[in-house]
Amino acid sequence: MIGEVIKEVAGNEAKEIKNPSAENFKNIKPEKAMTQKEADDFWDSELKKESDSAKNESGESVDSKEYLDDNGNKYRDGDYLLPDTKFEVNGYKYETDDKGRVVSAEGKLRMRDPDYERDMENVKKLEGQEYKSGDDRGHLIGHQFGGSDKLENLVPMDAKLNQGDFAKLENTLADAVKDGSDVKLKVEPIYENDSTRPSEFKVSYSIDKEREVIVFKNESEEKV
């Protein structure tokens, strides 16, 4: 067990110990006689304390991650976007409502940098997300335009919509961008009640100032 391993190292008078602070364990004495299981639990607890302390000192704790936008402003806390917040990521502007749901994503479209690789966050596993079995992680601003692959730009979107009509519109806009046109896009997810899954998307776009508006229904199967 851990206690026996530490005792054996000390007995052999090892000159090198990868984690010097582990030496301190030999000076820790249980307050009373223990069963083998209690002893194991005791040493596991001490090792966890040592590990947590090391994380705090190094600043590597996952919980301490800060999410800052293009302007250095915090827009996200753990699994949630901050409510009633306006922020900018990858050059595109976003806005959340009082429940922290994205209600607007917009900007002038550009084709992504060739070095910008896809790095999709597994948002389906985040607390509070309502993905259904037929849903994709849909981009509000397409990846091909340099849109983020993270929570702020991904929403539950019916796969048929995401890979069908929504994709067709994105490709039409991409062709216009490649032709040198001035293309602007605004996507507004619309929610029912307290749901975090949009029921539809209002999409406004303009190509050389000619504006169009389309509303896509977000229909899917039962929730996973």
Q: Are residues 210 and 163 in the same domain?
A: yes
Distance CA 180, CA 7 (A): 72
Distance CA 97, CA 103 (A): 6
This prediction's pTM: 0.70
Q: Are residues 136 and 97 in the same domain?
A: yes
Model pLDDT for residues 137-167, shown as the tens digit of each residue: 999 999 999 999 999 999 999 999 999 999 9
Q: Among 5, 6, 21, which residue's Cα sits nearest to residue 53?
A: 21
Q: Are residues 51 and 157 in the same domain?
A: no
Model pLDDT for residues 97-151, shown as the tens digit of each residue: 999 999 999 999 999 998 888 899 999 999 999 999 999 999 999 999 999 999 9
Domain that holds residue 181: 65-217
Quickly state the pLDDT bin for 15 (edges 50, 70, 90).
Answer: very low
Range name among 1-10, 168-177, 179-188 with the lowest pLDDT average: 1-10
Q: Are residues 34 and 95 in the same domain?
A: no
Which amino acid, one-letter code, is at 113? D
DSSP 175-202: HHHHTT--EEEEEEEE--TT-SS-SEEE
Residue 43 has pLDDT above 90, yes or no: no
